Structure 1
Amino acid sequence: MPSHAPHPAPTTPHTESPSPSPGNPLTAPGPHPDAHPQDPDPLQREKAHLAASRSALRAMREDAEALNIADVTANWVNAEVLQGEIDARIKSLADLAHTPLFFGRLDYLHAPGLDLAEGAPGENFYIGRRHVHDADGDPMVIDWRAPVSQPFYRASKKDPMDLRLRRRFGYTAGELTAYEDEHLTDPAEAERTSRLLQSEIERPRVGPMRDIVATIQPEQDEIVRAGIGGSVCVQGAPGTGKTAVGLHRVAYLLYAHRERLARAGTLVIGPNRSFLHYIEQVLPALGELEVKQATVDDLVGHVEVRGTDEAAAATVKGDARMAQVLRRAVRSHVTMPQEPCVVVRGSRRWRVPAHELEEIVRELRDRDIRYGAAREALPQRIAHAVLVRMEQAGEAPDDRVQDAVARNAAVKATVKAVWPPVDPAKLVLRLLGDAEFLAEQAAGILTPEEQQTILWARPARGVKSAKWSAADAVLIDEAMDLVARTHSLGHVVLDEAQDLSPMQYRAVGRRCTTGSATVLGDIAQGTTPWATGTWEEALTHLGKPGSVVEELTQGFRVPREVIAYASRLLPAIAPDLTEATSIRESAGDFAIRAVAPEELTAATLAACDDALAKEGSIGLIAAEARIPELRAALAAVGVTCLAPGEETSAEARLTLVPATLAKGLEYDYVVLDEPAAIVAGEPDERTGLRRLYVCLTRPVSGLTVVHAAALPEALAGP
């Protein structure tokens, strides 16, 4: 293990500048008076280790590129599979120029009892996004997910976890420019907040979401490193990093359980495509390239969705009781046999009477196995009854005879008559288009009024011509699982989960019946009519009852004044939740501008102009009805606006965001246009206030609220 352990450095940050600069919290005076005379410039030593580590990473990549598999594969299939793995390895070894290779260093008092390498007292470890080793195989950078890295996130003065020193590094445009030390066993050094950590948290956001691997806090790290055996639900207020925690948890599980999850697969589920585009670079930056992303609509996309439901209809279709209706509808196809099954083999006829067939059918039905599995088992059960008769007659049939009998035309005819195949889409089509069939299957489950609510006004002629809604697609997915088991993954991350209906939870739960889940959300941000009431209820629908529910209330993104202002809405939208706090030292830019109605659009553009004069991304968030006017006004003054999820650039930093798509996104500066219109755009006031809460909590550095109509009562006044 190479050791680069200079004498304990100063407790204040060090940069290349030898003199203090009041405007830069990372600039500190010259060398600490206790610095070792033989180590006058620790920063240069750290830079040298960074350069050596980058060189080692390049060598690792070159070794992978030089692999020749011509003589080690038996056939072209094996060659393609192996080459695919090598290509993935090469891609994962890319050195991202503007991404620090390591961000911290741990100096242990004693050699850690971990199987990384034989160590000695005083050994140190550089902590980074991925593992890097030298030509001898000795680690130069340790993966942040390795057990030896854990103290970087959890060690404190009260529990130093055998650390003498924790060093954090500061970077500018990918170059190492500063370091900061914490002497965890020095009683003279008080517990304090790292200024490098604070600076990283408050750094302006430009472009897609980035990882938080250098700033993970102890309460977040506990969730990230939770075992794969159980599911975890994270209730997180805005800015607490719940999405980042979920993504880093995937990365950790892939590190700790690579083979298991490689076989079973992992999936990240987000609320919409814009959100997925926003987060899609986080896992690749951590070296994980194979995690798939999808929306719930993608999962259940068995039919083309061309229609929409009224809120009342969508709420009933999303109710968990629909699973009972569908189950009953699927099982309604089973009928009891009225005729015997007569199998002819050679000169012999073998007869299975109707009452015995009925016993077989009832037994399969009562076993509660899936419809399709039972249908596949039925011919074998009938064939077995025939073989019993053959044996009683003195014959000695074997398994081949049973298989042949199961394929007999008479057996097939019996199966088709009593247990016919079911097409899930056609079943749902009939259920929503046939009032009599719906009434029969929903009797005692849905009220007549609810049945009428979901019944199509005009029955569709066929599956392809039907104007399916998103809720209908979920019903088809449920019916498909009743017929045949849905493939289960090893781990699923479900983000913005508070907006899912019970039936949507069931659809996600089917994808992790044999695996685990990480559920992320905020009850206060539920903006659908069927939004989750409690996480316990949601986890039950997901099929993970009793899972651990963790609450994150310490914010890292939203400025203090902004989160305090938005939290005024909590008593009306989620009275049971704890109000979030923010560790950001910067209060942030915060302004509320009241204008006359005829000045609203001009005032909003003026606020955008003010934001564009600052560094970072700008999100202009407005009600759907206001978007066309604002887009036209921006175009008229020559301002290019992006769509949600598109990457910002020097030429285009302003994104025009409909309030309905703001969830999960973040911008350095947010201009919020007409809050009253955002509230009015929802089916009811509570949902509208929740939507407004989401929009208010999108900024990282500043918020300007522009309004002509009266603000909601909770936000009025000082």
Structure 2
Amino acid sequence: MPAFDTPRADSYADELAHERAYLTAARADLARMRASAEALDASRGSDADSAAVLADVLARRVAALQDDPHTTLFFGRIDGDSEAAESRHYIGRRHVSSPSGDPVVLDWRAPMSTAFYRASHTEPMGVALRRRFGVDRGQITAIEDEHLTDQGESEASSEILASEIERPRTGPMRDIVSTIQPEQDEIVRADLATSVCVQGAPGTGKTAVGLHRAAWLLYTHRDRLDRTGVLVVGPNRAFLEHINAVLPALGEVRVEHTTAADLVAHAPAKATEPTEVAVLKGDPRMATVLHNALWAQVARADEALVIPRGVRKWRIPSYEVQEIVDELTSRGVRYDAARAMLPMRLAHAVLLRMERAGDSPDDRVQEAVAKSPAMRKYAAALWPAADPRQVLFDLWSSADRLAEAADGVLSEQEQAILLWDKAPRGKGSAKWSPADLALLDELGDLVERTPSLGHVVLDEAQDLSPMQLRAVGRRCSTGSVTVLGDVAQGTTPWATDSWQEAMSHLGKPEHHLEVLDRGFRVPASVIEFAARLLPSMAPGLGAPTSVRSNRGVLDVRPVDGASKIATELLQSVSAAMESEGSIGVIAPNAQIEKLSKALQAGGIDHGRLDADHGDDADHRVQLVPATVAKGLEFDQVVVVEPAAIAAAEPDERTGLRRLYVVLTRAVSALTVLHSEPLPGELCG
């Protein structure tokens, strides 16, 4: 008997009918559970606040019990060694129970479901049979059994699993709960306290793994993470649109999504600046410069503190005041926290003098002294309020202030390129760059601590500067993080080549690194073609391996002259539309408008993912600027002018990495149209 089989022909129809009946009954149980939740009265709360909390809990419960008619409630079954019915468990996207409370479907995140993903012939984990279900439009269409306890059988490939992985798809990214692989499951179920870094080649499912890890953590640590929160940080808004349906499909509707840019958007980013300036502003040394600039605002105590109280005046000499200031500045607390302590510390020094004079002041006297007009005026002059934008404005517009803050940190040449050539009249007229926003976030945290979340999922982390990584790290300073990325896909001038370094900037030097190099979504013909770039752009990094039986389609097509690109594009897209699935046209940013007009003239309805033309409609054909392609995938991809895509980047390495990203977006077929010669690395 093969490791994978279908039930015998004489019993297959009966087995299929039984499983379909079980699905029908499970759907009825889920509908009953949803109706029961909808009938609960949120007004039972003892007050308005508790009623609002209860209403929110009930709304999330109802949303989590929504049935999706396009899929089944379960995708697998595991049977134990026993013949008893209780040793059989159906695995699905959410828990479903019978009226008596018995489990009808186990949530894929439940501990008992682990065996469905990890059991093998060498380690069956008490599973005698693993059954997978073929599904089409919400109905069970096929059954495939794997007998794990059969002696002498080796591991085999599942046709149902392979067809689900390779199934054409349109619209947003879907969950992968039915196809999670053992190495992926280990990452998904890593403990909350563990900060995980995943180095994943294209098509290895790292993004899906990160999202499913968030869902598993919320299931396993619900009470804690409902209080502290979970955040997903992605590279751009097109990417967030692509992934935003995954967690709701798994019943998790309270996870926030944002881009790295929006995370630190404390002001509009209107300025552009040379690459060397942006790189320097993203350098981790800037943290020291900003710290020095902020704390330089604390003045030295050159005058004594004099506090009138009644007919007497109490005097604290300047040297004693300075000792208190020095102690506060060395405590490692935030600027505003230390500033708030100053009046109370000075008031305590006054009380000590009162006691030495024979008075018996209490805490009320100390508080009154701390709030007195004389104390407020003195403390404010000594320790002024800080505005991050004013601090940064002063730093970029004053050579003296920058020199003081950067002394011993930045060279004179580096300081010179940071200074504004012509300073704005005031901070209100300053035009901040994207790199400035990360610095404003750093200053904001130096002034007042940034609240930490319970867990953060950071995707495409290799593209963030050290200062951006620090900004993300602040959001999980007391929590954990799942970092996803691929150093070979780093397309910014400050992209990291070391995960150890990147994790240190995040504040997580102690972390667990996982490497995913088995490609499930990108076919072999495509990944092998793109991997020709690796030796030049990421030497030492191993090429990913496609594990799909279908090698996919690769068509590299030279075009006789740029004027004929549009004609070839129309033909390629029209041919692609004869098959199922999504189609992505990825081109140099400068050519998007021209190609859009060509598609429109050819009668091909399409969407555009550039910032000025994004819409909410679902389009089977999407026109994608090369700089937005990261993290996206399409069943069929047409890449236009790869040499121009690479040449648009500031240096050769970054250009080849951008091209590597673009070439690895295809799930089934890749067509490359070029009138310009291909980069030499691709001609091997």
Which bracket does the TM-score occupy, shorter chain normalised? over 0.9
Q: 1:487 aligns with which of 451, 462, 466?
A: 451
2:427 partner SS:
coil
- From 442, 456, 470, the counterpart of 2:406: 442
CA deviation map 1:71-113 (0-9, x unaligned):
x3222222222112111111111111112210001111269xx
Q: 5 Å matches for 1:96-495?
A: 96-109=68-81, 123-187=87-151, 189-495=153-459
Can you give the 5+ residue segments of structure 2 that lack an aligned partner in the other structure? Answer: none
Q: Does 1:616 align with 2:616?
A: no
- The answer as to 2:43 corresponding to 1:43 is no
- What is the one-letter code of the residue matched to 1:669? Q
1:76 is aligned, of 26, 37, 48, to 48
User: Take 1:183 and 1:268, find their aligned partners in 2: how far apart are those partners?
Assistant: 39
Q: Cα 1:647–1:106, aligned 2, differ >3 Å: closer, same or farther?
A: farther
Structure 1 residue 233 displacement after superposition? 0.3
Aligned partners of 1:73, 1:367: CA distance in 2, in Å? 44
RMSD: 1.7
SS of residue in 2 equivalent to 1:328? helix
Trace 1:556-575 onto structure 2 (pairs within 5 A): 556-575=520-539
The SS at the match of 1:41 is helix
Q: Deviation of residue 595 (structure 1)?
A: 1.5
CA shift at 1:13, angstroms? 3.9
1:17: which partner in 2?
A: none
Deviation digits for residues 612-633 of structure 1, max 9, x if unmatched? 2211111000011111211111
Q: 1:454-478 CA distances to partner (integer Å, 9 max, x unpaired)?
A: 2222212233322111111111110
8 Å Cα contact 1:497-1:520 kept in structure 2? yes
Partner of 1:4: none
Residue 704 (structure 1) aligned to one of 643, 663, 671: 671
Structure 2 residue corresponding to 1:12, chosen from 5, 16, 19 = 5
Render the CA deviation track for 1:359-409: whole Å, top value 9, x for unaligned. Answer: 101111122221111111111100111111122222222222111111112
Q: Secondary structure at the match of 2:171?
A: coil
Cα deviation code 1:512-547 (max 9, x no counterpart): 000000000000000000111210110111100031
Query: Secondary structure at 1:374's aligned position in 2?
Result: helix
Question: For structure 1, which runs of at least 5 residues remain unmatched after alignment?
Answer: 1-7, 15-28, 112-119
- AA aligned to 2:14 is D
Q: CA deviation at 1:179?
A: 1.1
Structure 1, residues 149-203: CA drift from partner, whole Å, max 9, x if none? Answer: 0010000000000111111111111111111111100115442111110110110
Is contact 1:207-1:648 (8 Å) kept? no
Please state how far the C-alpha of 1:219 moved relative to its aligned partner: 0.5
The answer to whether the 8 A contact 1:679-1:685 is kept is yes
Q: Which residue of 1 aligns with 2:472?
A: 508
The 8 Å contact of residues 488 and 534 in structure 2, kept in 1 or not, is answered as yes
Q: Tell me the equivalent position of 1:633.
A: 598
Shift in Å at residue 505 of structure 1? 0.3
| Cα distance in structure 2, aligned partners of 1:449 and 1:48 | 75
Amino acid at match of 2:484: L
Match of 1:659 in 2: 626
State the secondary structure of the residue aligned to 2:449.
Answer: coil
Mapped partners of 1:467, 1:706: distance in 2: 40
SS of equivalent to 1:464: helix
Cα deviation, residue 251, structure 1: 0.4
**Preserved CA contact (<8 Å) 1:488 1:510:** yes
Amino acid in the other structure paired with 1:595:
V
**2-structure distance, mates of 1:631, 1:359:** 68
- 1:23 alignment partner in structure 2: none
The alpha-carbon distance between structure 1 residues 231 and 369, as it changes in their structure 2 partners (threshold 3 A), is same
Alignment-mate amino acid for residue 668 of structure 2? S
1:49-80 per-residue CA deviation (whole Å, 9 max, x = no partner) reads 1111110000001111111244x322222222
Contact 2:302–2:318 under 8 Å retained in 1 = yes
What's the offset of the Cα at 1:10?
9.6
Question: What is the one-letter code of the residue matched to 1:41?
Answer: D
Closer/same/farther in 2, CA of residues 107 and 315 from structure 1, 3 Å limit? same
Work out whether residues 343 and 370 of structure 2, in 8 Å CA contact, stay in contact via their aligned partners in 1: yes
Distance 1:339 1:40 in 2: 94
- Give deviations 1:593-650, integer Å, cap 9, x for gaps: 112123222222221221122111110000111112111111111212212386775x
User: Helix, strand or coil for the counterpart of 1:512?
Assistant: coil
Corresponding residue for residue 601 of structure 1: 566
SS at match of 2:351: helix
Q: Tell me which residue corresponds to 1:5.
A: none
Tell me if the contact between 2:570 and 2:602 (Cα under 8 Å) persists in the aligned partners.
no
CA distance in 1, matches of 2:657, 2:24: 49
Q: Per-residue deviation at 1:429?
A: 1.0
| Counterpart position of 1:117 | none
Deviation of 1:122 after TM superposition, in Å, equals: 6.1
TM-score (norm 1): 0.92
Query: Which stretch of the first structure deviates more once superposed, 148-157 or 411-420?
Result: 411-420
Match 1:674 to one of 641, 645, 651 = 641
Where 1:549 maps in the other structure, the secondary structure is strand
**What is the one-letter code of the residue matched to 2:459?**
D
Q: Secondary structure at the match of 1:79?
A: helix
3-state secondary structure, aligned to 1:150: helix
Q: Classify 1:450/1:478 alpha carbon distance in 2 versus 1 (closer, same or farther; 3 Å).
A: same
SS of residue matched to 1:343: strand
C-alpha contact 1:13 1:195 (8 A) present in aligned 2: no
Tell me, in whole angstroms, the C-alpha distance in 1 between the residues paired with 2:616 and 2:635: 13
User: Structure 2: how far apart are the matches of 1:265 and 1:10?
Assistant: 43
Cα distance in 2 for partners of 1:45, 1:611 equals 39
- Tell me if structure 1 keeps the 8 A contact 2:3–2:154: no
Rounded to whole Å, the distance in 1 between the matches of 2:627 and 2:154 is 46
Give the secondary-structure state (helix, strand or coil) at the position aligned to 2:9. coil
Q: 1:86 aligns with which of 58, 79, 84?
A: 58
CA distance in structure 2 between the partners assigned to 1:99 and 1:149 by the alignment: 19
Aligned residue-pair number = 679
Native 8 Å contact 2:4 2:156 kept in 1 = no
Deviations 1:267-304 (A, max 9, x none): 00000111001000000000100000001121111111
Q: Which moved more, 1:692-701 or 1:579-588?
A: 579-588
Q: Distance in 2 between matches of 1:187 and 1:74?
A: 62
Aligned counterparts of 1:498 and 1:452: Cα–Cα separation in 2? 28
2:183 & 2:154 partners in 1: Cα distance? 21
SS at match of 1:314: helix
| 1:52 aligned partner, one-letter code | A
Query: Could you say which residue in structure 1 is the equivalent of 2:35?
Result: 62
One-letter amino acid of the counterpart of residue 665, structure 2: R
